[in-house]
Amino acid sequence: MKGIKVEIKGKEYVLGFKNRASIRKAEALGVNVVSPERIATFSDNLFYAALMDKQPNISKATADDIIEAIIEEYGINYYNEVIAQLAEFLRAFYGSQEEKSEKKIELVEM
Give pLDDT tens digits for 38-85. 777 788 888 999 998 888 899 999 999 999 999 999 999 999 999 988
Say if 60 falls within a structural domain.
Answer: yes
Q: What is the pLDDT of residue 108?
A: 56
How buried is residue 100: exposed, middle or buried, by Cβ count under 10 Å (0-12/13-18/19+)?
A: exposed
Give the chain's domain count.
1
For residue 106, tell me if it sits in a domain.
no
- Give domain status of residue 108, yes or no: no
What CA–CA distance (Å, rounded) separates 85 from 67? 15
Is residue 38, in this structure, part of any structural domain at all? yes
Does residue 21 fall inside a structural domain?
A: yes
Q: Is residue 87 part of a domain?
A: yes
107 belongs to a structural domain = no
What pLDDT was estimated at residue 66?
Answer: 94
User: What mean pLDDT is reported for the chain?
Assistant: 81
In a domain, 36, yes or no: yes
For residue 31, give its domain range. Answer: 4-94
Pairs from 69-78 (Cβ < 8 Å, separation ≥ 24): 69/8, 69/9, 70/6, 70/8, 73/8, 73/9
Q: What angle do CA 19, 21, 27 make, to 5 degrees?
A: 110
Predicted model pTM:
0.70
